[in-house]
Amino acid sequence: MTAVTGVPPSRLRALLSAGRHRLAGGPGRVPGVDVARGIAVLGMFTAHVGVTTPDAGPAWWLLDLSHGRSSILFAVVAGISVAIVSGGPRPLDGDPLRRARLRLFVRAALLLAVAGLLDLLGTRVALILGFYACFFVLALPFLRWRPPRLAALAGVVALVGPLLAYWGPEAIARAGLRAPRDGSGAVTDFLLTGTYPGVVWMAYVLAGMAIGRCDLRSPRLRRGLLACGLAAWGAFSLLSGALVGAAGGDEVVRGLTLARQSVDTVPFAWDDPWPGVAGLFLGGPHDDTTLEVLASGGFAVAVVGLCLHVGRVGRWVLAPLAAVGSMALTVYSLQIVAIWHWDLLGSTTNGPLLVLVLVTLVAATAWRFLLGRGPLERAVGAVSDRVAAPPRGS
């Protein structure tokens, strides 16, 4: 072995052992959460680059699941991560809690900076990173909350938030005000009028925090997440379909809703007909209705429950997915750069998607095996840890 590799066998064994340790994630990481995050990131690849219509072949419906649900899964896993870094089942308190909040705030600021740089590429991808940063900040007041309170608040947001997102922008227009068009309106955009409005999407983050505050090793929790998530996905998807069908069908409901929404040049008056309640029955990607939150949120919860079943064998079989999930910021950012450089949007085949996924899985696995944390994760972690470090001598 020495003659072939030029490395003494003992040294080679040590290198392989260290690589396997890094690939497993090390202490403190939950393999199932990394796998779920990896699925979310690759799902966003599919939504951005893939062909997800019936033209894609018999499995097109599986690819079509990526639309909307991948980013929702990403948000749910974000909530789980927030809970884990702030104590998991035992929430931090005192100075450790203060440092955890500061660390999350700094990470949010750095995510916003990365999002700003990626936005300069003009890829037409609806970047989630800036909203992700906003979600981190909005989560800070709830780091001490227990699962029941977090789940209850998630339910309230799921019920009330979609009403605000549906009628709020219309109320702004009819009041003679304007929706934000630049950075001056960032708060309004992040919370109400953007692609991922916080008044709706915090339901996913809070649900994830409730999950992350539980014992993720519990078989009962895993089974409950999988069963309840699948039940919610199925029940509320069927309910949406039935209600929209009774209202005239998807095209009719969307047409009536759009016809009653103001445009910038000619806003409706207060006493003109408003977008009808039927628009709240829609459950498609990014409709941001209560039925979508409950259905697609249930799908995300079921995926998390399934991924938490990853055992000793699954940890190695799914190691490439976990590697992608462990460096989601790096992978997501490089995906945007690849879309910009090779103009991947609008592809007529899934060839580019397949290449992008395979290269990502191989590169992420190799990087984690050899070096551990992803480059952007390492940089963001170093800065946030330095800022939130306790004073010397304390």
Q: What is the DSSP string of 46-70?
A: HHHH---SGGG-TTHHHHHTHHHHH
In a domain, 260, yes or no: no
In a domain, 1, yes or no: no
In a domain, 228, yes or no: no
In a domain, 24, yes or no: no
- Write out the H or E segment, with its range, that includes residue 2: helix 2-5
Residues belonging to the chain: 394
Give this prediction's pTM: 0.95
* Least confident window among 29-43, 52-66, 86-100, 168-182: 52-66
- The range of the structural domain enclosing residue 91 comes to 30-220+297-387
What is the rounded CA–CA span in Å between residue 209 and residue 84? 8
* Segments of 85-228 assigned E as strands: none
What is the rounded CA–CA span in Å between residue 79 and residue 233? 19
In a domain, 241, yes or no: no
| pLDDT (tens digit per residue) in 189-205 | 999 999 999 999 999 99
The stretch 115-144 carries a mean pLDDT of 96
Computed over every residue of the chain, the mean pLDDT equals 93
Residue 182 has pLDDT above 70, yes or no: yes
In a domain, 3, yes or no: no
In a domain, 9, yes or no: no
In a domain, 378, yes or no: yes
Both tokens of residue 185?
Answer: 């309106």
Residue 6's pLDDT band, with cuts at 50, 70 and 90, is low
How many whole angstroms from its chain centre is CA 279?
Answer: 25
| pLDDT (tens digit per residue) in 237-278 | 999 999 999 999 999 999 999 999 998 778 999 999 999 999
Cα–Cα distances (Å) from 275 to 167, 173, 243, 254, 352, in that order, read 8, 13, 16, 10, 40
What is the rounded CA–CA span in Å between residue 193 and residue 170? 10
Residue 60 has pLDDT above 90, yes or no: no
Residue type for position 298:
G
The counts of H helices and E strands in the chain are 18, 0
Specify the number of domains making up the chain: 1
Residue 225 in contact with residue 304, Cβ under 8 Å?
A: yes
Residue 1 has pLDDT above 50, yes or no: no
What is the rounded CA–CA span in Å between residue 230 and residue 249? 25
Cα–Cα distances (Å) from 281 to 165, 191, 266, 284, in that order, read 14, 22, 27, 10
What is the rounded CA–CA span in Å between residue 22 and residue 127? 29
